Amino acid sequence: MAIHYIAEQEELEQLTEDLRHKAEIAIDLEFDRNRYRYGFNMCLMQIYDGADCFLVDPLSDNLNIETIFPPIENPDIQKVVFAFGEDLRLFHSMGCFPKNLYDLDIATSLLNFEPASLTNLIEEVLDVVVNSSSQQSNWYRRPLTDQQKEYAADDVLYLLDFKEAVEKQARERALTEWIEQENAVFNHLDYSDEDHNNLIKDKDKNDMTMFEWFVYCRLIEFFDEVAQSYNKPVYQLVSKKLVSDLAQNPHKVHQWEDTRGVFRQIKTADFRSQLQSTLDISINEAESRGLS
């Protein structure tokens, strides 16, 4: 079994053509969601066709990842996956709507397996020990290390065999139709309108008044725009705790350049002026709404 790293358009076009003739493939994604950079972004796509493994680099300047979307959307090709919820959201945000998914997480749940990671389930069902040491890697880094490539490949290499073992149990327990029905739900989901970067959570209200909460939300929106301009997640610029403190104590903006825990490039008088303006506008709007 060979592992092929796909970073050129010609290679991707050949892979796409080859996949058109497959009945099933295993697929997984490595992505970053506001951890190392701003936004929800695909960093690697892994595909196993039963013979070879392909690591497709969506960050390569030499290919267009949308080229491979047609076989992923083709309902005649079954895509074997595991816990595919976030992956599906990412695909939808990119305009790709995968069809005919067989999620092994759903299947094992209906078969009453104990909740477990893919690594542990593969060991339990197939008696194969899989490397999981690169799970928290920065998948933006290029070139990928051999360890990262091995980890990424392992995420798909055993899915087809795993599915075969699971289907055997499902047939023996007359659960095949139920599993198929549950997986068919994926075909009708649409996450394309979701805001994957929404940072405003009700749990962050704590003891803030409605007035302070309104100002806090406006500040979060402001910092979100700033973070996007730097291609960094908001937490790398400023903490929610600090934003909350500003919303409750607006006068602290005058100490901005001396505030600890702030991204160095925005600890300037110019940025303080922008922040002050945002605060003033937010406070005036809160007052005009009669909030207290």
Q: What is the mean pLDDT of residues 139-159?
A: 96
Q: What is the mean pLDDT of residues 138-147?
A: 95
Per-residue confidence band for 136, with pLDDT thresholds at 50, 70 and 90 = confident
Is 151 a known active-site residue?
Answer: yes
Q: Which of 11, 49, 57, 87 is an active site residue?
A: 87
Closest listed residue to residue 223, CA positions, set 211, 242, 212, 238? 238
Q: What is the pLDDT of residues 170-203, one digit of tens each?
A: 999 999 999 999 999 999 999 999 888 888 888 9
Q: What is the pLDDT of residues 222-260, one digit of tens each?
A: 999 999 999 999 999 999 999 999 999 999 999 999 999
Instruction: Compute the distance between CA of residue 256 and CA of residue 269 in angstroms, rounded to an integer.
Output: 8
Q: Is the per-residue pLDDT at 134 higher than 80?
A: no
Write out the E strands in 127-275: none
Per-residue confidence band for 92, with pLDDT thresholds at 50, 70 and 90 = very high
Instruction: Dihedral sign for Cα 189, 191, 193, 198, please.
Output: positive
Q: What is the pLDDT of residues 60-91, one digit of tens each?
A: 999 999 999 999 999 999 999 999 999 999 99
pLDDT of residue 199: 87
Instruction: Compute the distance between CA of residue 199 and CA of residue 218 in angstroms, rounded to an integer.
Output: 11
**Angle, in degrees to the nearest 10, between helices 210-230 and 240-248:** 140
Q: Which of 11, 57, 103, 155 is an active site residue?
A: 155
Q: Is the per-residue pLDDT at 291 higher than 80?
A: yes
Helix then strand then coil, in percent of the chain rounded to 5, is: 50, 10, 35
Residue whose token pair is 């065999």: 161
Q: Which of 38, 48, 102, 151 is an active site residue?
A: 151
Token reading at 24: 């099933």
Per-residue confidence band for 59, with pLDDT thresholds at 50, 70 and 90 = very high
3-state secondary structure (DSSP) of residue 263: coil
Instruction: Compute the distance between CA of residue 265 and CA of residue 270 in angstroms, rounded to an integer.
Output: 11
Instruction: Compute the distance between CA of residue 44 and CA of residue 234 in angstroms, rounded to an integer.
Output: 23
Write out the E strands in the chain: 3-6, 24-33, 40-48, 53-56, 78-81, 101-103
Q: Which of 11, 30, 49, 224 is an active site residue?
A: 30
Q: Which residues are within 8 A (CB) of 202 and not within 5 positions of it... i.e. 6 or more apart? A: none
3-state secondary structure (DSSP) of residue 206: coil
Q: Which of 11, 28, 103, 224 is an active site residue?
A: 28
Is 155 a known active-site residue?
Answer: yes
pLDDT of residue 131: 75
Question: Contact, 230 vs 237, CB < 8 A?
Answer: yes
pLDDT of residue 133: 62
Is 30 a known active-site residue?
Answer: yes
Alpha helices (H) in 117-158, listed in sequence order: 118-126, 146-157
Closest listed residue to residue 250, CA positions, set 204, 215, 288? 215
- The H or E element that residue 86 is part of is helix 85-93
Per-residue confidence band for 269, with pLDDT thresholds at 50, 70 and 90 = very high
